[in-house]
């Protein structure tokens, strides 16, 4: 049996277990000790006291003082006595009772050295005890208070009630302490998905406030870094486009068509690479969140891809709506499909979902990638095949941009071998 499954996954549940288990253990141990000591001893002494009084009554009857015995039993002993002459004890009517009271009462009655039976089935009306005295039968109805101490049960009930009150107080206290952690988790997830997350106000315990302040500082530094990088690359892009534009104007004035063509290709390649670098940064630029019909969205993305002789098929088994940045997601999925189209002639796009995520599978029949290189291809400026660098504008940023966009939405991209022998790209995003 896997006992880890019995442990709650939430911090609140685990905290309550840390409080509940020791508390219940103490209550159970206290009840056991009380049963062994106090309750057992009290019951034994009460039973012996009752039997001692019965012994007094028996001795008075043996002295032919039945009337006096009956009067003493009723006034002093809280017992109702019925003395029947020439009546035998019927042991068949005896129904042995279980429990500590029955055991102690039987042990005490055995000290009389006389046949007896007793009935504790209706203790609220008293305990019935029948004792054989030679040819006569002594029937005694003992008041419940003589054999039964309610104080013990009141003590146990108060202890259980106090434990429940402590558990309720602990529950609401721990819930209040964990509430700031829940807010922090939600804000962190929101920020991790690239959404605008408000600044958290520190509350709760000292450690939680310190964690909240550290998160706020981290978020500020990350936002500052992203803005600086975006501004820098935007400035670099502007500064580089200006000389590239002048070079294009100068090329238009050249008469050497052979050299002109080569320089024009180089400039176009530099422009394409510059655009890819800027796109890498734009993946983190703010874009409003919109509701997206996943099926229609994937069909639109696939239609926007230029297909020559390749076969591109779509299989959508999901009709769910999700939220995200449509332009960024389109750029991500399109990058992956276009990358597959460069090296394969058969691509299949499958879409399905479960309770928590939806999945986009892009499979091709291309040459594939060695399994040990799956993570390497997501690194910026990495191209595994040098011959692929001959493709104009190839910068090694396509998959990097795609994964960054997907991760900013709270998902991830994994690679595996496709059923067609090529590469399978698995995109999972939260619903």
Task: Report the CATH number at residue 11.
Answer: 3.30.450
Task: Evaluate whether 320 touches 313 at the Cβ level (below 8 Å).
Answer: no
Report the range of poorest mean pLDDT among 23-27, 328-332, 379-383.
Answer: 379-383
Could you give the angle at the alpha carbon of 355 between the alpha carbons of 200 and 297, nearest 5°? 85
Mean pLDDT to the nearest integer, 380-390: 54
261: domain range? 188-286
Q: What is the pLDDT of residue 362?
A: 92
pLDDT confidence tier of residue 325, bands split at 50, 70 and 90? confident
Examine the domain organization and report whether 111 and 203 are in the same domain.
Answer: no
Examine the domain organization and report whether 247 and 301 are in the same domain.
Answer: no
Please provide the DSSP assignment of 287-348 as one string: ---EEEEHHHHHHHHHHHS--SS-EEEEEE----EEEE-HHHHHHHHHHHHHHHHHH-SEEE
Examine the domain organization and report whether 229 and 201 are in the same domain.
Answer: yes
Mean pLDDT to the nearest integer, 165-189: 83
Q: What is the pLDDT of residue 389?
A: 42
| Beta strands in 55-167, from DSSP E residues, in sequence order | 79-84, 116-119, 127-133, 136-142
Q: What is the pLDDT of residue 322?
A: 80
What percent of the chain is predicted at pLDDT more than 90?
Answer: 3
Examine the domain organization and report whether 71 and 134 are in the same domain.
Answer: yes
pLDDT at 38 over 70: no
Task: Please state the pTM of the whole predicted model.
Answer: 0.49
Look at residues 286, 309, 328 and tell me which one is the last residue of a structural domain: 286
Examine the domain organization and report whether 115 and 70 are in the same domain.
Answer: yes
Count of domains forming the chain? 3
Mean pLDDT to the nearest integer, 183-210: 76
Q: What is the pLDDT of residue 393?
A: 45
pLDDT at 351 over 50: yes
> What is the C-alpha to C-alpha distance for residues 32 and 38, in angstroms, rounded to an integer?
10
pLDDT at 330 over 80: yes
Q: What is the pLDDT of residue 387?
A: 41
pLDDT at 35 over 80: no
Look at residues 93, 120, 148 and tell me which one is the last residue of a structural domain: 148
């Amino acid at each position: 049996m896997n006992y880890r499954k019995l442990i709650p996954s939430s911090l609140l549940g685990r905290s309550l277990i840390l409080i509940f288990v020791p508390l219940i253990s103490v209550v159970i141990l206290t009840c056991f000790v009380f049963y062994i000591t106090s309750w057992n001893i009290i019951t034994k002494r009460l039973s012996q006291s009752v039997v001692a009084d019965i012994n007094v009554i028996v001795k008075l009857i043996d002295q032919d003082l039945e009337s006096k015995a009956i009067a003493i039993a009723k006034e002093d002993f809280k017992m109702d006595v019925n003395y029947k002459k020439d009546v035998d004890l019927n042991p068949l009517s005896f129904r042995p009772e279980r429990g500590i009271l029955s055991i102690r009462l039987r042990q005490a009655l055995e000290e009389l050295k006389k046949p007896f039976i007793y009935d504790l089935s209706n203790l609220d009306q008293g305990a019935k005890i029948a004792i054989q005295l030679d040819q006569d039968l002594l029937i005694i109805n003992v008041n419940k208070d003589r054999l039964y101490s309610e104080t013990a049960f009141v003590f146990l009930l108060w202890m259980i009630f106090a434990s429940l009150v402590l558990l309720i107080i602990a529950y609401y206290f721990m819930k209040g302490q964990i509430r700031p952690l829940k807010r922090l988790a939600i804000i962190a997830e929101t920020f991790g998905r690239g959404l605008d997350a408000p600044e958290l106000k520190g509350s709760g315990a000292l450690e939680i406030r310190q964690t909240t302040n550290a998160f706020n500082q981290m978020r500020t530094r990350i936002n500052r870094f992203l803005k600086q990088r975006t501004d820098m690359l935007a400035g670099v892009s502007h500064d580089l486009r200006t000389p590239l534009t002048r070079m294009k104007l100068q090329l238009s004035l050249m008469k050497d068509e052979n050299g002109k063509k080569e320089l024009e290709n180089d400039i176009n390649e530099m422009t394409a690479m510059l655009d890819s670098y800027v796109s890498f940064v734009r993946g983190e630029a703010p874009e409003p969140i919109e509701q997206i019909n996943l099926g229609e969205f994937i069909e639109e993305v696939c239609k926007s891809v230029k297909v020559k002789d390749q076969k591109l098929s779509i299989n959508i088994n999901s009709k769910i709506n999700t939220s995200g940045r449509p332009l960024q997601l389109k750029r991500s999925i399109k990058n992956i499909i276009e990358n597959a189209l460069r090296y394969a002639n058969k691509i299949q796009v499958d879409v399905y979902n479960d309770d928590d995520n939806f999945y986009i599978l892009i499979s091709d029949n291309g040459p594939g990638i060695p399994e040990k290189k799956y993570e390497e291809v997501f690194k910026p400026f990495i191209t595994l095949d040098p011959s692929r660098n001959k493709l104009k504008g190839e910068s090694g940023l396509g998959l990097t941009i795609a994964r960054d966009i997907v991760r900013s939405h709270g998902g991830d991209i994994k690679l595996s071998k496709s059923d067609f022998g090529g590469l399978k790209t698995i995109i999972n995003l939260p619903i």
